[in-house]
């Protein structure tokens, strides 16, 4: 029997976290290629450290984009807000080591007269949805993101000029009868630009914004606060800690409330099922919950490199289902073409929509007018409800 009263914790990191700086640059490079060629192939990795950014990987697309990579990296860092001695968008060194995609990989992915386009790699991908929030996301990760998104907004607007770009949040949510009802602890570490500020000073700045980001009544007198618990946090970003693309996969997905297949997202074009099939799995799981077929749904897909169709589809509704799980598996397989080409077509993924995903989570965000977060639509709910 599932537990009904418990605590669960998730964390998030800001767009200025060293790893997220790298995710942002990698996705910006990907967007630049897709803007020129929707069929471009990109696997872009970024390393960031003190006043240095190194970009490497495999690409197949317009050579003109390669000449833009350094400027793309500088613009990303500038928008994030780094203008400190140890990491400055104008002064940092940028190395670019992108080269042609392996022909051995390409032959497995590309379509031909005798074969469909195959998956770019083997792997397992998970999607998850639950009815804890209107966005059908787990509450702990959703609100951990919301805190940092709010702090980034007031930092960039100038309302809170003492805050720096680098930050981490962590909240522990209290569940009663299986539903989130409050926060037992809040952890926030944020870079600050005034070296004289104490932890108490930082809390005075951030607390009103944290209270606005969380549901009314969730913070009570017993809620434990840890704001900059180590004290001063002036040296931030890649100057304080090196960053790499793809190191925050649990932050990117469900905050530990659901499994993750292991593959990272940022810097990968949508032929890579690490990314596109994870988006498809979220899309299908969200539509199952939106259709009222379950209060919680975990959905797994698996692929083999060079093979178009998924090897397996698995659904678990965690005892909350209104329909047989095997029947749901058959219904979602009929509702969507789950080949790499089918996913990209259905969700319109061959567009420059990825830079916006690099921070504050790939899931639980509203679909936008440019096609971003198309996997958050619930336009299959009615069809699934009818089928079952």
Q: Which residues are annotated as a binding site for ATP?
A: 17, 166-168, 232-233, 241, 247-248, 264, 268
Question: Is 334 a catalytic site residue?
Answer: no
Catalytic annotation present for 242: yes
For the question of residue 20 being annotated catalytic, the response is yes
Check 11, 17, 117, 308 and give the catalytic one: 17
Asked if 272 is an active-site residue, the reply is yes
| H/E run at residue 275 | helix 273-290
Catalytic entry in 70, 131, 194, 241 = 241
What is the dihedral sign for C-alpha 287, 146, 300, 371? positive
**Residues comprising the binding site for L-methionine?**
58, 101, 241, 272
Given the residues 41, 174, 248, 365, the one annotated as active site: 248
Convert 331-349 to b/e letters by CB count within 10 Å (16 or more is b): bbeebbbbbbbbbbebbeb
Closest CA to 89 of 53, 124, 64, 63: 53
- Residue 191 to residues 155, 163, 198, 207, 346: CA-CA distances in angstroms? 11, 6, 12, 15, 41
179 is annotated as an active-site residue: no
**268 an active-site residue?**
yes
Told to judge if 144 belongs to the known catalytic residues of this protein, a careful annotator would answer no
**Burial status of residue 177 (CB atoms within 10 A of its CB: 0-12, 13-18, 19 or more):** exposed
Q: Is 233 an active-site residue? A: yes
Tell me how far CA of residue 214 lies from CA of 63, 142, 147, 289, in angstroms.
46, 10, 8, 23
Helix (H) / strand (E) element for 202: namely helix 199-213
From the candidates 274, 316, 325, 376, give the one annotated as an active-site residue.
Answer: 274
Catalytic residue, chosen from 41, 155, 247, 365, is: 247
How far is C-alpha 260 from the chain's CA centre?
12
Q: Which of 242, 327, 383, 387 is catalytic?
A: 242
List 41, 60, 142, 272, catalytic entry: 272
Contact status, residue 133 vs residue 247, Cβ threshold 8 Å? no
Catalytic entry in 36, 37, 58, 79: 58
Residue 156 is among the residues annotated as catalytic for this protein: no
Identify the bridge partners of residue 227 per DSSP, sorted by sequence position.
Answer: 188
Is 330 catalytic? The answer is no
Quick check: is 17 catalytic? Answer: yes
- Is 265 designated active site? no
CA distance 70 to 54: 10
CB atoms within 10 A of CB 198: 13
Find the catalytic residue in 8, 233, 265, 373. Answer: 233
CA–CA gap between residue 259 and residue 8 (Å, rounded): 15
Residues that constitute the known binding site: 17, 19, 45, 58, 101, 166-168, 232-233, 241, 247-248, 264, 268, 272
Catalytic residue chosen out of the listed positions 11, 45, 316, 376: 45
Q: Give the annotated binding-site residues for K(+).
A: 45
- From the candidates 74, 268, 275, 346, give the one annotated as an active-site residue: 268
What are the residue numbers of the active site?
17, 19-20, 45, 58, 168, 233, 241-242, 247-248, 268, 272, 274
């Amino acid at each position: 029997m599932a537990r009904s009263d418990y605590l669960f914790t998730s964390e998030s990191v800001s767009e200025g976290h060293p790893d997220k700086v790298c995710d942002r640059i990698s996705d910006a490079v990907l967007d630049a290629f897709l803007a020129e060629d929707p069929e471009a192939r990109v696997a872009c990795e970024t390393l960031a450290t003190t006043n240095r950014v190194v970009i490497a990987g495999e690409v197949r697309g317009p050579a003109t984009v390669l000449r833009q990579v350094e400027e793309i990296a500088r613009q990303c860092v500038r928008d994030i807000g780094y203008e400190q001695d140890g990491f400055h968008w104008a002064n940092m060194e940028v190395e670019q080591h992108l080269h042609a995609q392996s022909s051995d990989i390409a032959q497995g992915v590309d379509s031909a007269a005798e074969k469909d386009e195959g998956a770019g790699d083997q792997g397992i991908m998970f999607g998850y949805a639950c009815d804890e929030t209107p966005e059908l996301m787990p509450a702990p990760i959703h609100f951990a993101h919301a805190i940092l998104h709010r702090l980034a907004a007031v930092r960039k607007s100038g309302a809170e000029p003492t805050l720096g770009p680098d930050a981490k949040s962590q909240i522990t949510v209290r569940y009663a009868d299986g539903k989130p009802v409050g926060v037992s602890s809040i952890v926030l570490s944020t870079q600050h630009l005034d070296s004289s500020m104490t932890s108490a000073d930082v809390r005075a700045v951030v607390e009103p914004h944290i209270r606005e980001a969380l549901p009314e009544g969730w913070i009570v007198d017993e809620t434990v606060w840890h704001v900059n618990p180590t004290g001063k946090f002036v040296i931030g970003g890649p100057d304080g800690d090196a960053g790499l693309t793809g190191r925050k996969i649990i932050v990117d997905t469900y905050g530990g409330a659901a499994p993750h297949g292991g593959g990272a997202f940022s810097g990968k074009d949508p032929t890579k099922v690490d990314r596109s099939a994870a988006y498809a799995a979220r899309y299908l799981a969200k539509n199952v919950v939106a259709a009222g077929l379950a209060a919680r749904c975990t959905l797994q897909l698996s692929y083999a490199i060079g093979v178009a169709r998924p090897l397996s589809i698995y659904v678990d509704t965690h005892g909350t289902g209104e329909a047989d799980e095997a029947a749901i598996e058959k219904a979602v397989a009929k509702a969507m073409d789950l080949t790499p080409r089918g996913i990209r077509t259905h969700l319109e993924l061959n567009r420059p929509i990825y830079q916006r995903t690099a921070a504050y989570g790939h899931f639980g965000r509203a679909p936008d007018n440019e096609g971003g977060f198309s996997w958050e639509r619930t336009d299959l709910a009615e069809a699934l409800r009818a089928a079952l």
